[in-house]
């Protein structure tokens, strides 16, 4: 567990501020320190034990913030209240790849900076949604604040959010042959913020290299002796394991004329593309480049959950007649009986032998 490392950072920041690094005295901090500095500041101000903010209060605050922002975004995509509740449950409990760390579910408490950083990234998504509904005053200033929080919480959130915004602006420029002054201002301010903070707090850490398709070997050591088509095949399988649900929903959205031109949907696609590409191209110790994909899939998961519940809603509406509903119930009941009658393939029964 990295808890001891995070606690050391929190204590260091609470006692000596962000200019000192107790783990490497005399060297600058090339790390996403913002969340741990915040926790350290609260710990010192409230005179709490060092573990309270890190393992209790900070996690609760992060989860509540993420869930509230996710609800706002889900309310934009979903038509009915029941659909919103179901979509929120999907968002909170979905886990696409549990064998890597803690998976992608909302309860990722092994990395407080990643969890709380989700709140900053989802706040950017909510701002995109508000801009789709109405003109937002001082949006560039809001982007400055939100991208600062996202970048300092963890670099993956800021980079993925910026990629989504640039992708949205590019598609608008190509399709409409022009770009609004407000959108251009938002992109310039966001890009300047991300690049400046990267140069100030991350550049020179020397913990990442450009080395394509290294993440499978990093997270599954038995692949370290393979190269070429083997490692490429493993990359494809693992990547599909990460994003298959979200990818299916995106393909469904692209097939819908009412969705594919939506600005919020385009932002989600942009985050997803950047998350996949960065995870494939960059090599970081222990496969940490997958945090870029992790950040992107959280944004895509909101759309995927909403798209799924909307499709189910439409399907249910078509089955409201008693005869069709009875047919579905009967088919489901009979399927359950058949599944119960099928023996385990390892049971040794004649039917199991036949099925094998």
Residue in the structure block whose two tokens are 């008693």: 322
Q: How far is CA 6 from CA 100, 163, 174, in A?
A: 20, 28, 45
| 127-144 mean pLDDT | 91
How crowded is residue 83: how many other Cβ atoms within 10 Å of its Cβ? Answer: 21
How crowded is residue 302: how many other Cβ atoms within 10 Å of its Cβ? Answer: 29
**Where on the phi/psi map is residue 95: left (φ > 0), alpha (ψ -120 to 50), or beta?**
beta
Separation of CA 129 from chain center:
17
Find, among 140, 6, 136, 117, the residue nearest to 65 by Cα.
Answer: 117
| 201-221 mean pLDDT | 69
Helix/strand/coil for 282: strand
Q: What are 75-106's pLDDT values in tens digits?
A: 999 988 889 999 998 888 776 555 444 444 55
Task: Tell me the Cα Rg of the chain.
Answer: 23
Q: How far is CA 9 from CA 14, 119, 206, in A?
A: 9, 21, 20
In this structure, are residues 127 and 143 in contact, taking their beta carbons and an 8 Å threshold?
yes
In this structure, are residues 173 and 179 in contact, taking their beta carbons and an 8 Å threshold?
yes
Q: What confidence tier does 170 reach under pLDDT thresholds 50, 70, 90?
A: very high
Query: According to the model, what pLDDT value does residue 224 have?
Result: 66
pTM for the whole thing? 0.82
CA distance 139 to 127: 8
**Which is more confidently placed, 48 or 208?**
48
Which residues, at least 6 apart from 124, have a Cβ–Cβ distance to it below 8 Å? 143, 146, 147, 150, 161, 164, 165
Q: What are 267-291's pLDDT values in tens digits?
A: 999 999 998 888 888 877 666 778 8
- Give the DSSP letter of residue 288: T
| 310-336 mean pLDDT | 77
Query: According to the model, what pLDDT value does residue 272 have?
Result: 92
């Amino acid at each position: 567990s990295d808890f001891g490392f995070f606690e050391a950072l929190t204590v260091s920041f609470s006692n000596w501020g962000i200019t000192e690094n107790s783990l490497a005295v005399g060297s600058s901090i090339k790390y996403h320190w913002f969340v741990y500095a915040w926790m350290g500041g609260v710990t010192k101000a409230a005179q709490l034990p060092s573990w309270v903010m890190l393992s209790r209060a900070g996690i609760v605050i992060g989860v509540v913030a993420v869930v509230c922002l996710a609800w706002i975004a889900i309310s934009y995509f979903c038509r009915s209240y029941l659909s919103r509740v179901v979509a929120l449950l999907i968002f909170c409990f979905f886990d696409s790849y549990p064998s890597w760390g803690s998976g992608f579910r909302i309860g990722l408490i092994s990395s407080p900076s990643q969890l709380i950083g989700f709140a900053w990234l989802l706040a950017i998504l909510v701002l995109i949604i508000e801009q789709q509904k109405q003109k937002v005053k001082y949006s560039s200033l809001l982007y400055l604040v939100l991208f600062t929080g996202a970048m300092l919480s963890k670099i993956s959130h800021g980079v993925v959010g910026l990629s989504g915004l640039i992708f949205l602006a590019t598609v608008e420029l190509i399709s409409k042959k022009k770009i609004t002054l407000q959108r251009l201002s938002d992109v310039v301010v966001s890009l300047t913020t991300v690049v400046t903070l990267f140069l100030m707090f991350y550049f020179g850490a020397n913990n990442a290299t450009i080395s394509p398709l290294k993440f499978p070997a990093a997270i599954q050591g038995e692949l370290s002796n393979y190269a070429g088509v083997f490692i490429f095949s493993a990359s494809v399988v693992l990547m599909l394991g990460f994003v298959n649900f979200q990818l299916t929903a995106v393909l469904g959205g692209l097939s819908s004329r009412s969705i594919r031109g939506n600005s919020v949907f385009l932002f989600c696609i942009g985050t997803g593309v950047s998350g996949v590409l960065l995870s494939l191209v960059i090599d970081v110790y222990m496969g940490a480049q997958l945090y870029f994909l992790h950040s992107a899939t959280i944004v895509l998961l909101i759309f995927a959950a909403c798209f799924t519940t909307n499709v189910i809603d439409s399907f249910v509406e078509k089955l409201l007649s008693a005869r069709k509903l009875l047919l579905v119930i009967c088919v489901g009941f009979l399927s359950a009986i058949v599944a119960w009658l099928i023996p385990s393939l390892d049971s040794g029964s004649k039917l199991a032998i036949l099925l094998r």
